């Protein structure tokens, strides 16, 4: 069976979270609290291992970070 993965990337998720936060949707922000915590923990884990990556892995990370930041308007 084929299916389409409709889950947002973390950059897309960040846009959703930001919009809720900026519009004062505190209930929605509260519901997304655990996802926000996971994203920040993953960012810290990535920072912790960044110096151990091969050049190929570091390039993948750099491209991914650039793409996700671009989705957020940076």
**What is the chain's pLDDT, residue by residue, as a tens digit (74 residues)?**
788 888 899 999 999 999 999 999 999 999 999 999 999 999 999 999 999 999 999 999 999 999 999 999 99
User: By CB neighbour count within 10 A (0-12 exposed, 13-18 middle, 19+ buried), where does 15 fall?
Assistant: middle
Distance of CA 4 to the CA centre of its chain: 20
Question: Domain residues of the chain, as ranges?
Answer: 10-71
CA distance 61 to 70: 14
pTM: 0.79
List Cβ neighbours of 70 (8 Å cut-off, separation of 6 or more): 11
């Amino acid at each position: 069976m084929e299916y389409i993965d409709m889950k947002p990337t973390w950059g897309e998720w960040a846009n959703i979270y930001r919009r809720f936060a900026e519009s004062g949707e505190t209930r929605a922000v509260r519901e997304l609290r655990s996802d926000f915590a996971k994203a920040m923990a993953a960012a810290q884990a990535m920072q912790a291992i960044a110096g151990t990556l091969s050049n190929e892995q570091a390039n993948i990370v750099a491209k991914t970070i650039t793409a996700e930041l671009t989705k957020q308007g940076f």
